[in-house]
Amino acid sequence: MRAVVKNGIGIFTPQGFLDGNSANSLLTLEDVEATTKINAEMVLVSLKKVVFFNRNGLDAFVKLFTKVRNKQHITVGFCDYDYKKFTAINKFYKNDLNFSLFKSQEIAALFSASYKNKNKNVLLFSQDKSQSAAMAIELHDNGHNPVIAQTQEEFKEKSKNRESYDVIIEDTYLGQMGQSVATRVTGNAIIYTVSSFLDAEIGNTFNISYHNNSLNVGFRLFIFDAYKVVSMNVHALNFFSKLASSGAEYNATICFVGMTFEKIPVSFKETLEDSGIMFFEQMDDILQNKELLKDLGGGSASSVANKRVINKEIVTELPNFIEATVNTIEMMTNSQAIKNAAKVDQITISGKLEDKIASSIGFYGDIDGMVILVFPFDIAKKASELLIGEATEDTELVLDTLAELVNIVGGKIKSLLFEAEISVNITLPRTYDNVNSLLDVVGDKKGVQVDLSFDNDKFLFFLTR
């Protein structure tokens, strides 16, 4: 079974009846590992389409969860259940509940560091006070505003005021949370979230190959969200120093945000600063300061000293990139996509820039680079209809769907290149709600531009490094 991965959460959705036999057939360790490889920091089994389950059925998943969590340091558990199912699970695992339970995927997303929507007003209640506190801390750390109801009555009363809260949490349980270093992309910066005690384990939980490949595809600013870090030992210190040194040849900047030095020797800070690492109190000190962002390399790729150019290896594989894009658009629109013109130059976007949106995905491995698709908004809506199911004017929804679309393109590229014996992995997709921010990133880069159309609607493909 394959998972759908969104907001850093891989969700498996089995259907029907779950017992010991069926559960073992539904999900294998390979299925879960394939999901974690695409940067899922949580793996959940949705119970919304399960009409019956027994202890044996859940046990099969729980055994898998334990293996995966021990190996990959991610959060595991179940989601999408009603009160009856929640009660049954609690009864089955009364004294042994070491996985998480999220009443809905929306609630699970609040606990994912990769969830891009922050600042949600959240009402929460749990009979277990330590759970209420744990949830509130996690929510706060993830940038939300939790309000704890102390009693059932208070919760009922406050719940009536539905419009005051973006999300209401009940029937939820935080088991052992994942300790892997969560990753999210903001603008041209990559944000890693680290927490608690940083020791030698950081070498296992930090995805170094993802980091190296992000450097390869042009990311230059890496921010460690360290609000939740309590302390650090010399092994972690060495790790970060080496990371900074290895990034120096790319002109990359590494920053720590929110780290306090109450329990960390000040000499550690000096060592890290000597390695080129910078420290900030608040995330907004960087993200809201355009000048600083630009200086640090997170505002525009134009600040990158080592400009990389499109090379022969990539151009040779151009037909595969075009085929992946054309096939995906044809699949999503049921129309024939036509290649109109191609050129090797800087990207040229004709017509009104403000009417256009874009998405991109990086690939790395035997070859590396970035595919960018630029659509007029109306065409993006059309291309997103298969996934959304209806026409929409919601820009955010269209952008999210466009990210899924470019993710599918990336997946197709990966499989077409694999057939050509070229092994690549793909990064998280990025979207641009206006093409000016895209031009900031790739405006001065040379690449292959192909003008495409379907049903006479034009869109643009750009391949660069």
Partner 1 sequence: MITNEKINSFIEKIPPASKVLQVTLALLDSGELVKAAQIAKEDLALSSYLKSLVNKPIYGFKNQVDDVSQIFGILGVAKSQQAVYNYMMSLLSPKKWSLFALNQSSFHDLQDTLAINWQKILAHLQITDKEIQSAITLLPASIIVAEALFHEKKEDVALLRSASEIDLNTILLRLCQRDLFDICEMIAKKWEMHAHIGAIVQAASGSKPAEDANIDTLGKWMHLLLFFTLSQPKFIQAQLNDFIDFHIEYVDAIYEDFAQLMEIQ
Which of these ranges, 12-20, 91-99, 138-146, 175-183, lies near partner 1 under the rule CB under 8 A?
A: 12-20
Q: Helix, strand or coil for residue 211?
A: helix
- Residue among 51 and 266 whose Cβ is closer to partner 1: 51
Tokens at residue 49, please?
């389409």
Q: Is 412 in the site for partner 1 (CB under 8 A)?
A: yes
Burial label for 70, CB within 10 Å (0-12, 13-18, 19+), is: exposed
Region of 378 on the Ramachandran plot (φ > 0 left; ψ -120 to 50 alpha; else beta): alpha
Distance CA 77, CA 61 (A): 9
Q: Is 391 in the site for partner 1 (CB under 8 A)?
A: no
The binder of partner 1 chosen from 29, 37, 49, 249 (CB under 8 A)? 49
Q: Find the shortest distance in angstroms from Cβ 401 to partner 1.
A: 8
Report the chain's terminal Cα–Cα distance, integer Å: 34
Nearest to 462 by CA among 337, 366, 322, 297: 322
Q: For the chain, what is the largest distance between any 2 Cα atoms, rounded to a whole number of angstroms?
A: 68
Phi, psi of 249 (to 5 degrees): -65, -15
Distance CA 170, CA 190 (A): 32
Q: Is 29 in the site for partner 1 (CB under 8 A)?
A: no
Q: Is 15 in the site for partner 1 (CB under 8 A)?
A: yes
**Which residues, 6 or more positions from 140, have their beta carbon under 8 angstroms from its beta carbon?**
146
Q: Is 427 in the site for partner 1 (CB under 8 A)?
A: no
**How many chain residues bind partner 1 (CB under 8 A)?**
39
**CA-CA-CA-CA dihedral for 109, 114, 119, 121, to nearest 10:** 10
Q: Find the shortest distance in angstroms from Cβ 411 to partner 1.
A: 5
Q: Find the shortest distance in angstroms from Cβ 400 to partner 1.
A: 10
- Binding to partner 1, residues 325-344 (CB under 8 A): 327-328, 330-331, 334
Q: Helix, strand or coil for residue 398?
A: helix
Q: Find the shortest distance in angstroms from Cβ 381 to partner 1.
A: 14
Q: Is 83 in the site for partner 1 (CB under 8 A)?
A: no
- Binding to partner 1, residues 210-229 (CB under 8 A): none
Could you give the string, one character per residue 299-328, with x where binding to partner 1 holds by CB under 8 A and - elsewhere?
Answer: ----------------------------xx
Distance CA 6, CA 456 (A): 32
Q: Find the shortest distance in angstroms from Cβ 67 to partner 1.
A: 20
Distance CA 449, CA 433 (A): 20
The binder of partner 1 chosen from 225, 404, 440, 457 (CB under 8 A)? 404
Distance CA 385, CA 387 (A): 5
- Residue among 81 and 224 whose Cβ is closer to partner 1: 81
Q: Find the shortest distance in angstroms from Cβ 379 to partner 1.
A: 17
- Residue among 27 and 441 whose Cβ is closer to partner 1: 27
Q: Find the shortest distance in angstroms from Cβ 408 to partner 1.
A: 5
Q: Find the shortest distance in angstroms from Cβ 323 to partner 1.
A: 12
Report whether 375 contacts 356 (CB < 8 A). yes
- Residue among 51 and 305 whose Cβ is closer to partner 1: 51
The binder of partner 1 chosen from 25, 245, 260, 348 (CB under 8 A)? 25
Q: Is 386 in the site for partner 1 (CB under 8 A)?
A: yes
- Residue among 253 and 384 whose Cβ is closer to partner 1: 384
- Residue among 134 and 387 whose Cβ is closer to partner 1: 387
- Binding to partner 1, residues 345-374 (CB under 8 A): none
Nearest to 310 by CA among 342, 282, 275, 286: 342
Distance CA 133, CA 20 (A): 35
- Binding to partner 1, residues 232-291 (CB under 8 A): none
**CA-CA-CA-CA dihedral for 275, 276, 282, 283, to nearest 10:** -110
Which of these ranges, 19-27, 125-133, 274-282, 432-440, lies near partner 1 under the rule CB under 8 A?
A: 19-27
Distance CA 102, CA 420 (A): 42
Query: Which residues are at the interface with partner 1 (CB under 8 A)?
Result: 1-5, 11, 13-18, 21-22, 24-26, 48-52, 54, 327-328, 330-331, 334, 385-387, 389, 404-405, 407-408, 411-412, 415
